[in-house]
Amino acid sequence: MIIDQASSLRRLMRQATVETAEDRRPPAPARVLAVTSGKGGVGKTNVAVNLAARLATMGRRILLMDADLGMANADVLCNLNVRTTLAHVLTGRRTLSDVMIDGPGGFTLIPGVSGLAAIADLSEFERARMLDLLTQLEDEYDLVIIDTGAGISPNVLNFVEAADEVLVVTTPEPTAITDAYGLIKTICRRREGAEFSILINQVRDSREARRVFDRIDLVCRRFLGVRATNAGCVPLDPHVSAAVRRREPFVIGAPDCPASGYVRQLAHKLDRHAAEPRDGGFFKKFASWLAG
> In this predicted model, what pLDDT tens digit does every residue of 199-228 receive, in sequence order?
999 999 999 999 999 999 999 999 999 999
Residue 80 binned pLDDT confidence (cut-offs 50, 70, 90): very high
Overall average pLDDT of the 80-94 stretch:
82
| pLDDT single digits (tens) 117-152 | 666 666 777 667 767 777 778 889 999 999 998 999
Say yes or no to pLDDT of 255 above 90: yes
The answer on pLDDT for 286 being more than 80 is no
Portion of the chain with pLDDT greater than 70, in percent: 77
Note whether residue 129 is domain-resident: yes
pLDDT per residue as tens digits for the range 91-104: 778 888 898 999 99
pLDDT band at 86 (very low <50, low <70, confident <90, very high): confident
Return the SS3 of 9: helix
Q: Is residue 181 part of a domain?
A: yes
pLDDT of residue 176: 98
Domain encompassing residue 115: 29-291
In a domain, 124, yes or no: yes
pTM of the predicted model, to two decimals?
Answer: 0.85
Mean residue pLDDT of the chain comes to 84
Asked if residue 3 belongs to a domain, the reply is no
Domain membership flag for residue 212: yes
Name the strands in the sheet holding 108-110, side by side, starting at the edge strand that comes first in the sequence.
101-102, 108-110, 62-67, 143-150, 31-37, 165-170, 197-203, 229-235
**Whole-Å CA distances, 231 to 79, 138, 202, 219:** 27, 24, 14, 17
Confirm whether 9 is domain-assigned: no
Cβ(239)–Cβ(250) under 8 Å?
A: yes
Element (H, E) at 145: strand 143-150
Number of domains in the chain: 1
Domain membership flag for residue 5: no
- Tell me the CATH number at 59: 3.40.50.300
8 in any annotated domain: no
